[in-house]
Structure formats: structure tokens, C-alpha cells
Structure 1
Amino acid sequence: MKPLHLDTPLLRAAPGLFPQAEVWLKMDALQPSGSFKLRGVGRLVQEAAAEGVREIVCASGGNAGFAAAYAARALGMAVTIVLPETSSPAVAEKIAARGASVLRHGAAFDEANAFAIALAAERGARHVHPFDHPLLWKGHSTLIDEVLAEGVEFDAVITAVGGGGLYCGIVQGLQRHGLNEVPVIALETLGADSLSRSLQAGEAVTLPAITSIATSLGARRVAAEALRLAQSHPTLSLTVSDRDATQACVRFADAMRVMVEPACGAALAALSVHEATLARFKRPLIEVCGGIAVSTAMLATWTMSA
């Protein structure tokens, strides 16, 4: 079946945006869903449609919900998105405008997802997880296929990590092409750093709460597969502050004329904030994951509050 996501542009970063002279940007902010999420979520929804499912239910902080709404409407399916209370009214409005029924439940993703699972079972609908499913990881892995098809060589992949679905897809894509030694630089904002804390502890850690403004990274516990891969594939887990992430968003908008959320800004901040640590990488690839919550007004608000 033809994928719902686009083969997004691979761009060389504007001169001076990063310390390295050659930085490649996989522009998934330009997906029809506004983020990379359509790669994996679209695959899951298409699979459900092929099995005759008529309705899907998805819990999300925003981006996966928008992708699920986009995919479901494209395939003529009913869709309900459950948002936690931390998601903004603007995000809820954008998802509803795609034809989804939007509900709110719980203070964080965990509570919203438990509600979504129960609701799907009650309705006989298909529950779509936003980051923890093998088909979803396979969908995300296509970004590596696309980069390699362009013939671009890179010596590291930099990505933001929330629940870990994107990270899993990137690692799987690298390993499928025999690039087992290419490291993944996994970025989180402080206060949404469940992978970093889990790696430090040597076991899965559940954050007591999400305190970062990067709510798209707001999974209190990273997927088990993400932690397993981070312990076996070359992975460097780093954190940045909310201020670092939002400043990176502003610099990126100025240089590349594309706006992204602070969740994406975490990855964009890595090369500058951790310049000494990452100086050995000469041709890094950054996954520009995007985000639907961004606007000129929100960019100003994040900048003031971070």
C-alpha cells in the first residue's frame, strides 16, 4: 500500500547555524501532519483499515493525535483522540479541525492512554499507541531509507526522544542497512528526560511528573524497546534546558524559515550546547521532527517563559 507520509526534503543546514560546517537536516516538520509521527502512525492506521477496522482511538500529547486524525480521515475512518490536560486548547482545535472527536482525560499521557485503551475496547475500535508498537517503529525507520537513497553520508544521527518510538525507528533503520556503528545522539529536555534517567539507573525509570515545556516529549516512562536499544546500540543520551531548546527553535526559524516545537528544538540545540562533546562528529544528520503546537505567538511565549 502507498504510504500516507511524504519523502521529505533532506537539506544542508544554513552556514553558521551549527558549529559543524556540514550538517544535514531531515525535514519531517514538512510532513502533512506537521511532524514525523505520520510515518509510524500512518502505517498503524493503514494496517487497521486493511483489517476492516472502522474506528481508531489514540491518546496523544498532540502530534501523534494529529497524525492519527489525518490518517483516519484519509482512509474514511472514525477517530477519537484523547489528550491529557497539559495539551493546549490550540492543539485540541487543530486536531478537531481534522474531523476527530477530541476528549480530555488525565494529568499526563499515561492516564490519557489508559482511558483510550478502555474506550477502544468499549467501542470495538482499534487502539493506536503513539510510540510503542513494532509497526510504528518500522514506519519511522523509513526516514533512514530516504536519507541513504539520497547518497548522503553521515556519521551520527541526532534526534529528540519522548516515548522513544522515533528513536527505535532510527536505530532499526540504521541496523537494517548495516550501519550498526553509527551512533544516535538522543536529546531530551530536563523535566522530560525519562530515557536519560533510565540509562543512568540501568533500568526503566518513571518520572514523577513532566515539568518541561516540551510537552511533546512528555512520556513519563520511555518504551521498553527504546531502553533496550539504547543499552545495545551506540547511543549518547544528552539533555538540554527548555531555554536551550526554545532558543534553538528561534535560530532555526531565522536560518531555515521553518518553525518547530521545543521538543524538536532539543535536537537542534545539541550541537551548540554540547559542542565539545559532539565536536568529533563532522557530518551529523538531525531529524527535524516538527510539531503542530508551534506558532509565532507560541514561539514568543516559550521564549519568554523558558
Structure 2
Amino acid sequence: MHKLAYDDITSAEARVTGHVRPVTVAPVEPRAGQTHQVWLALEYMQHTGSFKARGARNFVQAHRDAGTLPDAGVTIASGGNAGLACAWAAQQQGVPATVFLPTSAPQVKVARLRGLGADVRLVGAEYAEALAACEEFAADTGALASHAYDHPLIAAGAGTLLEEIRARVPDLDTVVVAVGGGGLFAGVATAAEWHGIRTVAAEPVGCRALNAGLEAGRPVDVTVDSVAADSLGARRVSRMALTVAQREHACSVLVADEEIVRARRALWDQRRVAVEHGAATALAALTSRDGYRPRDGERVCVVLCGANTDPSDLA
């Protein structure tokens, strides 16, 4: 297993800078009596609507640079966001993308994938089944297999986000990210640790792959049952993410679905921001009763990581 290092993040920066949208960071007005400061990283404004564009660009560009990007293009299994990013990155390089999704994937993501020119194939009820079909396709066609989260190039690309946040929030203490399979967490936490910044890993109670892995001391399969499962519904966290999470600079927080729904609604009501439930999970880690409690004076940034959602339930 490749051990993710800070050098991987800096290499990724060289590949993605100028090709992804620099993140916007917005301050949150403090409540009465609040002694810590909070910012929102608006990464849902990224190409394809999520942070995944960073990892996809890094992955495809690295293979292009190495001469290992085949004419058959790239293929990936994804709940939606990683597939969108992979299709976008492939389109930028002029190669085909074949994306395998579970049949439960939101129609809005399927439509956007086809709009990016991807060959979309719906297989199985869960991500694991789509992944098996993707692996078979790659073996048969020679297409380059990417991964939604469990690859060092993917995670390192995601980690470039922390570098941008840190440039906008000097003396940042803590960053809060939602966790599915762990790609965003692994990259951000690796970069954050280098700078002495804490990373809070936020997961729904019903999609707790990282939290369960920490309890067991190894990646384990979990059941997937959450309002945020379309983007955070990995059945098993990557070993790469678990290794990072076991270090002192990281902590794990679980939030209930009702808190996620409440946080998503608050973002819409107060800011007219419509994000996925997965993105709202990170904010819920700060606003829920049993969530993360910042210290006095702590400077915290919450990553709103994606907005590929149907906003009709927010009207």
C-alpha cells in the first residue's frame, strides 16, 4: 500500500493548479456568546459540483505525463460525484470515460454524466457491485481503472484543497470534512497534519465506515443506511484513510440523519446554498448536540464538498 505523504500533495498541486477552480472561503457570523470562528469552504462550486475534480485531474494528468493513459480511456465505479469528475477529466484530455453506477444513483448525476459524454452503465444496488463490473470492464478493454476514493493520486488531489483553505484562513486550527470511503479525508488530513492542523472526520451514523474501522483497528464492512448514502455510502473505508485517522491530529464524529437534514436546510434558509446531504454532514458535525466542540478562540473551516443534489425538497 502506498503511504500518502505531503510530497504527494505538493506534486498534485503542480498538476491541478490552473485546471481546477480555487476554493472560495466564507466566514460564518458568530452566534451570541460564541468564542470560536468558523468558515465555510465552498468547494461545491468546483468543476462538476464537488471536490472530486481535484483527484480526477491529478489522476488523469499523472498518467498522461507518464505515458500510461490508454486510448481506451478511463473507467470508474462511482455513486456519482467521482464518476462526474472522472468524465470531466477524461474529456479535458480527449479520451473516453466509462462510468459504472449503482441503480440507486440520483438521476441528476446520471444526466450530468451523459452530458459530459460518458458511457454510463447502471449495475447493482450498491457501490460494491458497480465496482466489480468496472473491474471486469477494465480487464476486458484495457481501460485505465480509476477509483472513487482508494488511490493515492485521487487522495492527493483532494488534499490540494487544504492548501488553498490554509492560504485563505491563516492560523487555521481545524478542518471538518465528511467521510465516505476516505479519499477527501486522507488527502486533507495528510496535508493538515503537515501544518499542525486537526482534521475532524464527520460521518452519518448509518454510514460509519471510518469510525467502525477505527474501532476494529482495520477496515471492516459496514451497513449503509443514511440520507447521505448517495455520496457517503462506501461499505468499507480505505486502509490509506484509516492509517491517517489513527494518528493524533484526527478525530471521528458521528451525526444522525436528522441533524444532517437540519444542517442542509439551515444552509438553504440562511444562505441560499443547496448542497448534498453528504456536504451537510460536515456542518452537522459542528451543529449537532453530540458533535465536535471547538475550543475558545479555535479557527475552524467546514468543507462543503458537493452540490450534485435535487434541491426541490428545499423549496
What SS is found at the alignment partner of 2:148? coil
Q: Does 1:211 align with 2:245?
A: no
Moved over 3 A (4+): 14-21, 274-277
Q: Does 1:60 align with 2:75?
A: no
What SS is found at the alignment partner of 1:23? strand
What SS is found at the alignment partner of 2:231? helix
Q: Does 1:80 align with 2:94?
A: no
Q: Report the equivalent of 2:20.
A: 5
Gaps of 5+ in 2: 1-14
Q: Report the equivalent of 2:211.
A: 196
Q: Distance in 2 between matches of 1:64 and 1:192?
A: 18
Question: How far is 1:163 from its partner?
Answer: 0.3
Q: Distance in 2 between matches of 1:164 and 1:241?
A: 19
Give the 3 Å change call, closer, same or farther, for CA 216–19 of structure 1 in structure 2: farther
Aligned 1:273-292 pairs, distance under 5 A: 273-274=288-289, 277-280=292-295, 282-292=298-308
Give the 3 Å change call, closer, same or farther, for CA 61–20 of structure 1 in structure 2: farther
Aligned 1:1-306 pairs, distance under 5 A: 1=15, 3=17, 4-16=19-31, 22-50=37-65, 51=67, 52-54=69-71, 55-177=73-195, 179=196, 182-207=197-222, 209-214=223-228, 215-274=230-289, 277-280=292-295, 282-292=298-308, 294-299=309-314
How big is each residue's C-alpha offset from its partner over 1:10-50, in whole Å with a ceiling of 9 and x where there is no partner? 11124449966520121111102101111111111222333
What SS is found at the alignment partner of 1:107? coil
TM-score (norm 1): 0.90
Q: Distance in 1 between matches of 2:16 and 2:178?
A: 27
The residue type equivalent to 2:274 in the other structure is M
CA contact (8 A) 1:13 1:256 kept: no
Question: How far is 1:233 from its partner?
Answer: 3.6
Q: Distance in 2 between matches of 1:48 and 1:196?
A: 33
Q: Report the equivalent of 1:303.
A: none
Q: Distance in 2 between matches of 1:69 and 1:194?
A: 26
The residue type equivalent to 1:72 in the other structure is A
What SS is found at the alignment partner of 1:221? coil
The residue type equivalent to 1:53 in the other structure is P
CA contact (8 A) 2:36 2:294 kept: no
| Structural RMSD (CA) | 2.1
% identical aligned pairs: 35
- The farther-off stretch of 232-241 and 59-68 is 232-241
Question: How far is 1:89 from its partner?
Answer: 2.3
Give the 3 Å change call, closer, same or farther, for CA 118–19 of structure 1 in structure 2: farther
CA contact (8 A) 1:158 1:284 kept: yes
What SS is found at the alignment partner of 2:62? helix
What SS is found at the alignment partner of 2:63? helix
Give the 3 Å change call, closer, same or farther, for CA 275–205 of structure 1 in structure 2: closer
CA contact (8 A) 1:20 1:283 kept: no
TM-score (norm 2): 0.87
Q: Distance in 1 between matches of 2:200 and 2:304?
A: 13
- The farther-off stretch of 60-69 and 231-240 is 231-240
Question: How far is 1:277 from its partner?
Answer: 4.7
Q: How many residues align structurally?
A: 295
- The farther-off stretch of 183-192 and 217-226 is 183-192
Q: Distance in 2 between matches of 1:19 and 1:187?
A: 21
